[in-house]
Amino acid sequence: MDILYQDEALLVINKPAGLSTLPDGYDSSLPHIKKLLEPGLGRLWIVHRLDKATSGVLLLARTAEAHKDINTQFERHQVIKVYHAIIIGQPNWKEKTIDLPLRPNGDRQHRTVIDQETGKPAVTRFKVLERLGEYCLVQAIPETGRTHQIRAHLSAVDLFILGDKLYGGRINLNLGNRLASIPLAVGFANLLAGSMALHARSLEITHPLTGDRRKFTAPYPDGFMAVHKQLCQFHAGM
């Protein structure tokens, strides 16, 4: 994995999809961020997490003091997180704020669900960046940090992230049949290597030592870029 930034207080990496942030609850022998990085970099504190199938900017603290400071910024909503996703579908809006309460582990598939009575407040701001035929590149800025928030909010308006089998269901499982008319050189599933097209693009915080605002940006992984390139080429040729 690539290190985007490091100093005595912070470590910022570009987490690859398929790698867990924390130890797996069922198999502790599986690799995770701390297990891979601490032998070479010393003790690390997890500040926030990304889903295993999500790539992108992940911030870790290198001291207890930095950990406390960044946690406080998250609690006060002073951290700006920006995600990019390739979604299936064409929303009838350019920008949209989804304000729907969420409850994690809300069904038999352990998905996060909309729950108006017992769910916790959750707000995500979406913006369409590119329209690419049956797909869109969208930006998502979560103002809260609920489990699977972006995926659950998109699902609530019948939009799904490419490769997200948990929330996309049959749409993502049957991509080959659904897109048989599109002459893609390589299947999307192969390009994404079993992951999904959700990428933590940037993270902005106040540095705990200097007080300066810092923004860290992670380049797209190869699979995400390959899918986007094919969609652009196909859309341009329509």
Which residues are marked as active site?
Answer: 51
What SS3 state is found at 229?
A: helix
Strand ranges for the chain from DSSP E: 2-6, 10-15, 45-46, 55-61, 80-88, 95-99, 102-103, 113-114, 123-132, 135-142, 160-161, 198-206, 213-217
Which tokens sit at 93?
Answer: 């809006």
CA 190/CA 223 separation, integer angstroms: 8
- The conformation of residue 32, written as its DSSP 8-state character, comes to B
As given in the structure block, the two tokens for residue 205 are 């915080």
